[in-house]
Structure 1
């Protein structure tokens, strides 16, 4: 039997999400309806669904409309990406699973950027691979050390996994840093998997910045894979559409073969919504709305941290929808699980405890998802401030 560790963050969300009055643990940009999506389109007469289409399995690797729109997004000025280099999946979680399932097994070694979403390192372990975590630290802005990456490489290393922008910290691996990763991978003939599910919600770094991070797919190294989805940046988690893209045809074909064992195809209806959202008539308005929402809400979160700076500290995120915030009492970190449970019971505000869901070393940390609807963030943070003033003394301290 495969040893499966508890998927802590998903178990936590499963336990509390439907009970929360103020969900500030949600990592998606505020979800929208199909009607709201249509209102964002420049062509409001264009139908989202092709209702005359027979509901067969559809295109096995993903609809042409969806993959064409994705290919356009990933195509560099000098090098187009073929539709054939993209495969759709039921969400990014399945995309990441398939990459590990296809590429690693017993005897292989994987290096994973950390902290991050648990499945990125736990699934390779379940498949029998040896996994080393490449630690990012707050004192370095949650950016890991390139020298440490070099030291982690072994003769059997096969895969480097990064998450950019990062969950839970909101940190960004910038362009020159990504180039360092590619140079190391190229030297050792390694595959690099970049989970880019929070791209392109760049709220605090400007695209004209020379260090602005491109998709890893655009940096010239063939043995790269990127994954993404409609859930986070595109506010459409309910359609369960993700994807895998690589310029290495051999990798794509191997993943396609493995995919037959897990996924015949993605729902035609879901893919039609995704294709509509990613169409040139819609995508710019959709992303502009979500990036502005992130900026507006981040200002609220920044004010919250400043107001409570005797109990709260953070590294301000540069991108994505999450922040990793540390709560303490007179310098001693709180027990984040006790803090989050009491907060939920007293106020209805949902946070995610860092030590429970991202690693025992993250004492006092909670993950905050700040790109839900602004009124939820504002009201919820006000409740947290009241809780800190009245209840923090009752919260256990971390061991």
Structure 2
């Protein structure tokens, strides 16, 4: 009787970038990223019984605060190569300081259907109750799951699965720091299985530039009784600027002339410094309101928060997006318009995504 062919186990490639998850201490000098990606994978209890083949790449060994656009762009290219070669999914370990930004950049650059999962740790390996091994195991299990396909880049910590476009670090030390304030997590890892409760309806990607340019995109947070002097000083050095305004997108009246002049020269995006909620477009009409600023050429970011708006604007500029395409891109990314207005083709979701969700949810 002929033998039944066996299905090969899923293969997940883990890229290590450093961060708290990889840090150890030396002679009371504070912790630094010294562990390799192999060290992290080898420290995971229960991984051997998970039935997942693991490949490890020690890609960088830096704190999250020192990662660059070039690092993440190179990582996106490397991830594409291993996925095209047959990997089921990719996991990225890094410092949590910048996960909400690097994950969104990866989400914009990742055009394949296989999942890219970003994780890290809030408690380094020298501490009691270090969360790195559990987070890494959950990330690997998510990357191996068909349910995670077509969702772009996801962030997995504390057994929660978050969409890169919405997740934020909300507490400087708490282990449950990662939240998606406007949407909540899209799923959870339970009993070793990724269970998605909802799915992203579409994905937005930008072609990876062959030689990423270092576009200078500033982020300016307005404050009470703000003075235009600082904005006047940084404006001439920016290729693009994100304004984190009060509430639904308001600024002090003295800033209006500077912002008007800047918007005539470079793209200036209006966001809210409030932790959740969107900028509006036509509710308030006083000088410095969102309606007033948009008539002066500022671009509304909708539901996109300031740090992610900066990631999007810098990526658009690096990809040489046409000036007339920047506002439509923000309208789609900020949920103010339909995906058809996105300047590039959106990735096609695979036809079996519903079946995959049902089988693994």
Bin for the TM-score computed over the shorter chain: under 0.3
Identify the structure with the greater helix proportion.
Answer: 1
Q: Which has the higher contact order (CA 8 A, sep 6+)?
A: 1
